[in-house]
Chains A and B, each alone.
Chain A
Amino acid sequence: MTATPDTGSRPIIDVRGVWKRFGTAEVLKGIDLAIRKSEVTCIIGPSGSGKSTLLRCIAFLEEYSEGEIYIEGELLGFSLENGKRRRVSDAEVARVRRNVGFVFQQFNLWPHMTALENVAMPLKLARGIAREDAAKRARRMLEKVGLGHRAEAYPSQLSGGQQQRVGIARALAMEPHIMLFDEPTSALDPELVGEVLQVMRDLAAEGMTMAVVTHEMGFAAQVADTVVFIDHGVIAASGSPQQVFRKDENPRLRQFLQNYFERNVFWQGAEGAGAP
């Protein structure tokens, strides 16, 4: 489904021994994760296991407590001097993560702007692109996610699925090298999930590098190159969808998948049909 990952080159994202503490609570406990160009990595795991925190650390929306995160070879958020790390300026953080796009569970659109303005404003303010050019590119991005006809609508006039697609268009307009998705369909009514997943499938097929926190196991099985199972702040299992969903014997993972399938079985006859 996706373009072949080029496993030889330097990873776009390289997470090395990352710890994250909130006060005394240890939320990430030594995470190692490499994401290569054109790879889709799906991150699954129980609620509260640290999935969002990991994604937010990669975007430096949270400062990680220990370890290193490299984005296209550059250390994110800190500089190393004689082995001691120092927080760099916000401007330097913004520079290093300029090619990282983020899609939020709650969309986080700006409600006082139309769909078009939501996509065009960052182009003007952060990239200095002239008004007309920004509007043109914004319109192209909205068309890409199937919302060309809703450009003038305000977020409150759009369905959840449409709002999330605007969120994706807004991130895409910045021409990111990697897109991070934090449960992009979890806030949606079930019938609206499909349209957002379709946009993400298309993106993956185009070769976009993606890290997706999701509870959509079907999507992970079909689209992911790598599935990562996080439990209590550690990567408890990872590998191809085949390895993680079918073969892995980690008991916590088996339990997690069992719960998932039980929640999704709605008819006795379907039992076992999609289960591992």
Chain B
Amino acid sequence: MSFNPAILTDNWREILDGMALTILIWVAGTAIGLVIGLAVAVLQLFTNRWLAAPLTLYVAVMRGTPFLIQLFVIYYGGPFFGLDLTPLTAGIAGLALYGGAYFSEIFRAGFLSVPPGQIEAARMMGIGRLDIVRHVQLPQMLVIILPALANMTVLLSKETAVLSVITVNELTSVVQSIGSTTFAFAETLLFLALVYWAFLEIVTAAARRLEKRVGRFMLRTPS
């Protein structure tokens, strides 16, 4: 058995399509997931328990069940509830809902990390709840939660591979089918590993740069 990377270059067009699709799903799912996560965390903190209970249930269900099953339910079960999604839309929605639950937990911990005295001071000044979130809590907690957010974002890049079960031709399924028709398993698996590893490196580097920018005030030393 020989090692022949040409297998990959021979099929570059399909691979590129799969990669583009994976990145699209990943970026869109993560972005929407972040919005969901932040919204859920804010609502959980600031509303009464009747509104908080369904949100807690949502988080528990998404964290407590396999992503694979969630995708099945959304894509194949959706039509029963009048929700007829294309595989791509169902995939992005699934990833966003799944990621959103984890992101909400990260944001929630972040909110709690800001000393309550600072929030009292802001309330005393008559600053509104959402302004407090935006101007007092978020800028401080971002530094603290960035590593956790980056970590979850990397995990989501790998979860995109599950979308092949609802017939989305994302990168893993494309490359695996090339592997099984050409028997070039080593090449294709190594290639996949390298791509997801590259995703990890990109996110980590981006998070580091962001951390430096938002964390400037913490690096200063007392004079």
Contact = CB atoms under 8 A, between A and B. Distances in A.
Interface of A: 59, 61, 90, 94, 97-98, 100-102, 104, 106, 108-113, 121-122, 125-127, 153-154, 156-158, 167, 170-171, 174
A174 B217 contact: no
B124 A102 contact: yes
Contact of B217 (A61, A100, A112, A170): A112
Contacts of A61: 120, 123-124
6 contacts: A94-B126, A110-B121, A112-B140, A125-B135, A126-B126, A157-B221
Q: Binding site of B, secondary structure by majority: helix, strand, loop or mixed? A: helix
B222 A156 contact: yes
Contacts of B126: 94, 98, 122, 126-127, 174
A252 B90 CA distance: 72
Contacts of A90: 129
A98 B126 CA distance: 7
Contact of A125 (B120, B128, B218, B221): B128
B131 interface: yes
B218 A111 contact: yes
A126 B122 CA distance: 9
A184 to B, nearest CB: 13
Nearest to A114: B217
Contacts of A112: 139-140, 217-218
A72 B223 CA distance: 42
B121 A121 contact: no
What are the 4 closest A-B residue pairs judged by CB atoms, nearest first?
A122-B125, A126-B126, A108-B121, A108-B117
B118 A110 contact: yes
B217 A154 contact: yes
Contacts of B140: 110-112
A201 B18 CA distance: 72
Given A98-B126, A156-B217, A174-B125, A106 B117 contact: yes
A179 to B, nearest CB: 11
A110, A154, A156, A157 pick with most chain B CB within 10 angstroms = A110
Nearest to A155: B217
A98 to B, nearest CB: 6
